[in-house]
Amino acid sequence: MFLSGSEKIDRHWVKNQNLKAMKEFVMLIRLEALPEVNFSPEEEQSLMNVWEKWVEGIIDRNILVSRGNRLGADGRTLKNGVLITNGPYVELKEIIGGYLIIRANSIDEAAEIAKGAPLVGNGTIEIRSIFSDDN
């Protein structure tokens, strides 16, 4: 379903014409451990409330493309069709806890947006541009 007066850009329908010139970036959220490992349910909920408030700010700016999904701790890594680790990580020092897809004018602007993200522990955010037909 699309909004009246909206236009399809890549695979998304957008109403704001200023978004046409913006690019999409994925923010890969890496954590040392999932919050439920190190925090009580009450602490985890408090942390999630702070995270949700930050995401709401991105929604209010009309630059959120996808909330993504939270990723689990299980996984497999293959190279050349061969299982090389029994998990998604070469070293278990960090996990990819989830991702968001946002719109920004540049990768530097996307990095500025990511700076405001409330991370749990010593997390990091990797920002990557998403390929489009314009690339």
Domain spans in the chain, listed from the N-terminal domain onward = 31-129
C-alpha to C-alpha distances, 19 to 10, 80, 101, nearest whole angstrom: 11, 39, 14
63, two tokens:
């630059």
What is the predicted pLDDT for the residue at 97? 81
CA dihedral 132, 76, 28, 107 (to 10 degrees): -40
- Residues for the chain: how many in total? 135
Q: 3-7, 36-40, 77-81, 128-132: which range is least confident on average?
A: 3-7
Does the pTM of the predicted model rise above 0.75?
no
73, two tokens:
């701790």
The per-residue pLDDT for range 43-88, each reduced to its tens digit, is: 888 888 998 999 999 999 999 999 988 777 677 777 788 877 766 5
- Among residues 16, 10, 33, the alpha carbon closest in space to that of 101 is found at 10
The yes or no reply on domain 31-129 and CATH 1.20.1740 is: no
Cα–Cα distance for residue pair 4/1, rounded to 1 Å = 10
